[in-house]
Amino acid sequence: MKILVTGGAGFIGSHTCVELLEGGYEISVLDNLSNSSEKSLERIKEITGKDFKFYKADLLDYDAVDKVFSSEKFDSVIHFAGLKAVGESVEKPLTYYHNNITGTLNLLSIMRKHGVYNIVFSSSATVYGSPKSLPIKEDFPLSTTNPYGSTKLMIEGILQDLYTADNNFSITILRYFNPIGAHKSGKIGEDPKGIPNNLMPYIQQVAIGKLPQLSVFGDKYPTKDGTGVRDYIHVVDLSLAHVKAVEKKSGHPGVYIYNVGTGNGYSVLEMVKAFEKASGREVKYKICPNRPGDIAACYADASKAEKELGWTAKLDLEDMCRDGWNWQVNNPNGYAD
């Protein structure tokens, strides 16, 4: 089976490429490298000992993407490509809507033109807005608080409408919780540009001495210790959910939606402690005001993915922190090293 991975040079895409290649799938990667480095693709080849084609192309360039589909016949597409920074999406909404929505519309119409009907799409727990209760199930009400989240929710709607119009499609929507960690080889990992927005890359850079201290955004939430609670999932577990989705759902028309999380919620302070233990380094922090738009707590009920895809997260918090630290130590400046 041959799979086109859009956004395959990025954080989650690169890890998924490794798991696909190790699972015996043939892949090609399409990425415009707007938020990634071609070095990640070399590293995927080092880890797996396998080769694959890379198309440096932008999903906004219809003709370039059409050419890719004319040059190879794909059985399935895993669609990671998109912009993902929540804060930036508030400042540049048109850029986010254009890139994420127009890019996806181009991809879908080209897939249809070439008779490629299987797709796995990267959605996010952000589509649940502020959940009324926990754990979160797939049928909870959906809402968003920022343009990035709105692009995810709109694309989910576009995919549903596409299936209604064309019952050939098999569409799997994976709603990720908080992916962290890295491949155990330490060769691929998350490489944020500039100062990280997300908790774990920030903690990692404090631990290695690149940043002086972590700002903990709020300690008065109604949670176990007052700090925000999230469902952190090892990026390799998350990648394996994509492999399962391709395996179980390709050729089975329908729209399938799954939460991809562990079901465990950890607070910011628990994450700091776990990371200190894994790295043997101190992570200095100070308590700061809440970050606007943040919710108190968020964790998944992932039982639907277990029941229907046969997938569960296997790696624990210790694994996530150890592997994240290993990547950071081996690549203190990410792929720029």
Q: 315 is written with which tokens?
A: 């790696």
CA 45 to chain centroid:
21
For residue 124, state whether it binds ligand NAD (rule: CB under 6 A): yes
Q: Which two tokens stand for residue 96?
A: 């986010």
- The least distance separating ligand UFG from the CB of residue 17, rounded to whole angstroms, comes to 21
HSE-CB for 13 with a 13 A CA cutoff? 31
CA-CA distance, 18 to 177, in Å (whole number)? 21
Write the binding mask 192 to 231 for ligand UFG: x where contact by CB under 6 A, - elsewhere: -----xxx--x-----------xxxx----------x-x-
Q: Which is nearer to ligand NAD, 34 or 250 (CB)?
A: 34
Question: 291 touches which of ligand NAD, ligand UFG, none (CB within 5 to 8 A by kind)?
Answer: ligand UFG
- Written as six digits, the tokens of 300 are 């998944």
Q: Map the footprint of ligand NAD across residues 141-180, applying CB under 6 A.
A: 176, 178-179
Q: Which residue's structure tokens are 């391709």? A: 246
Residues 138 and 69: their CA atoms lie apart, in Å, by 32
Q: Does 234 bind ligand UFG (CB under 6 A)?
A: no
Q: How far is CA 48 from the centre of its chain?
A: 21
Choose from ligand NAD, ligand UFG, none: what does 182 bind? Cβ within 5-8 Å by kind: none
Per CB under 6 A, contacts with ligand NAD among 176-215 are 176, 178-179
- Taking CB under 6 A as the rule, does residue 36 contact ligand NAD? yes
The verdict on 89 binding ligand NAD (CB under 6 A) reads no
Stretch in the footprint of ligand NAD (CB under 6 A) among 77-85, 111-119, 153-161, 218-226: 77-85
- Give the residue numbers marked as catalytic: 148
Q: How far is CA 254 from CA 24, 54, 289, in A?
A: 25, 29, 44
Please list every residue from 229 through 268 that binds ligand NAD, using CB under 6 A.
Answer: none
Nearer Cβ to ligand UFG (76/126):
126
Q: Which of 3, 4, 5, 7 binds ligand NAD (CB under 6 A)?
A: 7
Between 34 and 226, name the residue whose CB sits nearer to ligand NAD: 34
**Least CB distance to ligand NAD at residue 82 (A):** 3
If one asks whether residue 10 binds ligand NAD (CB under 6 A), the answer comes out as yes
Task: Provide DSSP, 216-258.
Answer: EE-S-SSSSSSS-EE-EEEHHHHHHHHHHHHHHHTT--EEEEE
Rounded Cα–Cα distance for residues 187 and 294 (Å)? 32
The CB-of-70 to ligand UFG minimum distance in angstroms stands at 34
Alpha-carbon gap, residue 259 to 267, rounded angstroms: 20
State the helix-helix crossing angle for 11-22 and 235-249, rounded to 10 degrees: 60
Q: Which residue has the tokens 């797709």?
A: 119
**Which positions from 47 through 86 interact with ligand UFG, judged by CB under 6 A?**
84, 86
Q: How far is the CB of 77 from ligand UFG (least distance, A)?
A: 21
200: left (phi over 0), alpha (psi -120 to 50) or beta: alpha
Span of 46-54, 78-86, 302-310, 318-326 interacting with ligand NAD by CB under 6 A: 78-86
Q: What number of residues does the chain have?
A: 337
What 3-state class would DSSP assign to 171? strand
Give me the residues that bind ligand NAD (CB under 6 A), please: 7, 9-13, 31-36, 58-60, 80-84, 99, 103, 122, 124, 176, 178-179
Binding site for ligand UFG (CB under 6 A): 84, 86, 124-126, 176-178, 197-199, 202, 214-217, 228, 230, 268, 291, 294
